[in-house]
Amino acid sequence: MKVDPGSDADRLDDDALVAAIGSGDRDALRLLLERWGPRVRAFLQRTLGSTRDAEDLTQETFVRIYGAAARYRPSGRFPAWLFRIAGNLARRELRRRKLIALVLGEPATRPEEIFASLPASGAFDPESPLRDAEIRRAMATALARLPERQRMAVLLRFYEEMPVADIATALGIGTRAAESLLARATRTLRTLLQDLH
């Protein structure tokens, strides 16, 4: 189905637009983005407290919608699907921030504390994007310098939020060995990133 971008398109329901996107219709994607983009962006802004991250993850949300549209099963519950995708991306970003806080020596916090501590307004800080980019580059470099098993343990623990027992199983080692890997990796990352303080 091809969506006519004229006035009739405004009356198409979300499921019909996703079906059209699944057939490769970029006009349908544009219409869905116009319809839902501002709400997704506002949700991500409130969740993350960062305009730039909200913009980036809004785009990523709709890229994922485009990639998954052919497999979407119409149910009239499009908003739940859309915000599940956006929410998963937001949680991934918060896990990344949590890992950065850990390796920079700041106290670890539970995910609900991260949500509660984020500013509602997302006040503009002109140096923040540069600082975030610097931290991301340094983190990628530091992770790449870890021995493979330490790097895998860190990624499984802080990006995938896997329990230590599951990490041990995934790496084929004992639980104490996994704990030791994580401790050594954290010490190494702190050393490598100490110049960011």
CA 178 from centroid of its chain's CA atoms: 25
d(CA 127, CA 106): 20
pLDDT score, position 3: 56
What are the domain boundaries of the chain? 7-90, 125-196
CATH of domain 7-90: 1.10.1740.10
pLDDT score, position 92: 87
DSSP label at 153? H
- Flag whether the pTM goes above 0.85: no
Q: CB count, 10 Å around CB of 173?
A: 15
pLDDT score, position 84: 87
d(CA 18, CA 82): 11
d(CA 61, CA 129): 21
pLDDT score, position 129: 56
- Topology (CATH) of 125-196: Arc Repressor Mutant, subunit A (1.10.10)
Same topology for domains 7-90 and 125-196, yes or no? Answer: no
Q: CB count, 10 Å around CB of 15?
A: 16
Closest CA to 170 of 151, 186, 184, 188: 151
Q: What one-character-per-residue DSSP string does 11-31 give? A: GS-HHHHHHHHHTT-HHHHHH
pLDDT means per 10 residues, the chain with 197 residues, are 53 89 93 95 87 93 94 86 89 82 56 36 45 74 86 82 86 92 90 71
pLDDT score, position 157: 85
Alpha-helix runs per DSSP H in 69-194: 78-103, 111-117, 128-145, 148-154, 164-171, 175-192
